[in-house]
Chains A and B, each alone.
Chain A
C-alpha cells in the first residue's frame, strides 16, 4: 500500500506455497496495529476518486433540491423509482454485519471473528447511506422530522398503522443497536491501541477506551452484555428487512402484495450483504497482508453462505412466479407477464443471471478460495441484487390495475449521479475507518487462537 517498504507482517503476507503459520497473541497486536500505519499514495488516490464522485453526487442533490423532483425523473406512477430501489439495496447490504456479529456469535461459528469488525463497520456505513435516501426521495428533506412522533401544536401524530412509520422505527433501532454493538466490541481493542501508542494519540485512545483494563470484573460484565446484545440483535436482523418488505407487501399493487416478501427480502439481504463483505475484505486482506487472519477457510465459509442464500433466492423467484400464476388473479398474472416480456425484461434477465446463475460456480471448491472468482461473483451478486429491487419497484408500478395510469420510468442524469454518489459516500466512510480503527478485532482473533500454555501436556483441551 505504501511506497516505502513497510515490514510485512511476519505471520501474514501472501502464502508462498506453504501453509501460513498460526500467529501468536503478540503477532495479532503487531499486525493489526500495522494496518493503522501512515497510508500510502494508493490510499490517497482512492480517497480522491471517491471524494470526487461524492462531490458530483452532492452537486446533483443540490440541483434536485433547487429544481424539484422532476429532475429525478419522478412522474406518476413512478414515484418510487431508483431512490427507493437503492434505499432497499443499502439496507440489505447492512444485514451481513449484524448477522455475522450476532447470529453467528450465538451459533458459535468461530470463523466469524476475523471478518466481523469490517462487516459491522460496513453495516453501519450501509445503514447511514440508506438513511440518506428517504431524505433525498422525500424532496423537502428539511421536513424529515415529521416522521418522528413528537408533540406539536397541530396535535398530529404519525400513523402507527403505516408500514412506512414501522420502517422509521425499525431502521433507527437497527442503526442504534448496531452502533452500540460495534462500539462495545471496539472498546478492548482501543485499549490495546492506547497501550501501544504515545503522545496525543495515546490520550485520544485513552479517552475512547473508557479506561478499559481487561480486569476480571470488566470481562465478566462485558461477556454477559455481549451475549445479550447478540440475543437482542438476532431478531432485529430478521425484523429490519421484514419491515422494509412490508413497505411493499402491505400495499395492494400487483407484484408487491405477497406474504412471501419478508423471508424473500431477508434472504436477499444476507446474500448481498455477504457479497459486499467480500468486496471489502478481499482488498483489505491483499493490501494489509492479513492472510494469516483472513484465511482461505474464511473465504470458503462466506462463499458457501453466498451459495446457499443464492439457491434459496432462486427458490423464492420460482415461488413468486408460481404463486402469481396459481393465484388465478388476473392482475397478478398480467403483472408477472409484463415483467417478463415488457419494457424491463432486460433488468429481469440481468437479475436472474447475476443472482441465480453466477453463484453456481461456487459449487466448485477451488472457486470458493480464489479471490478473483469470489470478487467477480460478489460484484455480479451486488448488481443482481440492485436489479432485484428495481424489478420489484419499477415494473410493478409501471403496470398496475388501471391502464390509464401506466407509465414507464427513465433514469435521469441527476438521480443516477446521486446513486453513484451514495456508493462513494459508503466507500469514503469505509476507507476512513480502516485507517482510524482496527479493522480486524484484536480480542476476538486472539480468542480463536490457542492461548499460550507452558505445560503442553495439558494444552489439548482448550
Chain B
C-alpha cells in the first residue's frame, strides 16, 4: 500500500520556539524537515546541521580553481610557444612556470573558482525554481520562521501536536 505523504507547516515567531519544535521532532524520529528562516540563525543551524555532512559547494570551488590554474598555464605556455616574443634573452616558457605568468594563473584560478562556486550554489540549492513550494509562506522573508514536516498522513495529528506544543502560532497542512 503506498504511503501518502503529507506536509504539515508550523509558523513560528521566535527562534527558541522553533528550536524547541525541531528538537522534539528530531527526538521523535521526524527527519524529513524543511526549515524556512528569514536569515540564517545559529541556534537553528546547530540543530538541523548536526547530522548532515558539510555542503559540497567547496568541491565545486576546488575543481573550478584547479581548472582555472591549469587552463591559464596552458594558455600562456602554448601561446608563447606559438608566438615567440623573446624578452631579455630568456626561454619562451620557464618550467614549471614562468614568473610573469603567475599573475594570469592566479587571476584565472580565482575567476574559474568563483564561477564554479556560483554554479555549485545554484545546482545544490536547486535554483532557479520557477514556483515557490506549497509549504512556503511570504512571511518567511520577513520575520517568521517555518518548519515544514513531511510525514505519513496518519502521523499528521501527532506532528500538529508537537508543533503546537512547541509554540507555533499557526499550524496548517
The answer to the question of A157 belonging to the interface, with a C-beta cut-off of 8 Å to chain B, is: yes
A:199-216 near B, CB below 8 Å: 210-216
Among the 9-residue stretches B10-18, B23-31, B157-165, the one with 4 or more Cβ atoms under 8 Å from chain A is B10-18
Number of B residues contacting the other chain (C-beta, 8 Å)? 71
Q: Are B142 and A25 in contact (CB under 8 A)?
A: yes
Is A10 part of the contact surface with B, judged by Cβ < 8 Å? no
| Ranked 8 nearest A-B pairs via Cβ | A25-B143, A211-B129, A157-B79, A210-B128, A195-B138, A224-B55, A192-B141, A454-B14
The contact of B111 among A176, A191, A222, by CB within 8 Å, is A176
- Given known contacts A211-B131, A221-B120, A232-B61, A26 and B16 CB-to-CB distance under 8 angstroms: no
B172 in the interface (beta carbon within 8 A): no
CB distance from B62 to the nearest CB of A (A): 9
Number of A-B residue pairs, CB cutoff 8 Å, is 195
Interfacial residues, chain A to chain B (CB-CB below 8 A): 24-26, 29, 149, 155-161, 165-166, 169-170, 172-173, 176-177, 180, 184, 188, 191-192, 194-196, 210-225, 228-229, 232-233, 235-236, 239, 243, 442-444, 446-447, 451-455, 458-459, 462
Please indicate the chain B residues that have their CB under 8 angstroms from the CB of A161 in the complex: 85, 87, 98, 100-101
**Pair B126/A169 contact, Cβ less than 8 Å:** no
Chain A residues with CB below 8 A from B34, complex form = 215-217
Residue from B39, B104, B143 within 8 A of A24 (CB atoms): B143
22 contacts between A and B (CB under 8 A): A25-B39, A160-B76, A160-B80, A161-B85, A161-B87, A161-B101, A176-B111, A180-B115, A212-B127, A215-B35, A215-B136, A217-B126, A219-B45, A221-B56, A225-B57, A225-B120, A228-B61, A235-B110, A236-B110, A447-B39, A453-B15, A454-B17
Whether A211 contacts B100 by the Cβ 8 Å rule is no
Task: Identify 17 new A-B residue pairs, CB closer than 8 A, beyond the known A172-B111, A218-B126, A220-B52.
Answer: A25-B39, A26-B142, A26-B143, A29-B142, A155-B83, A157-B79, A161-B98, A192-B38, A195-B138, A195-B141, A210-B128, A216-B45, A217-B124, A224-B57, A239-B103, A443-B38, A452-B13
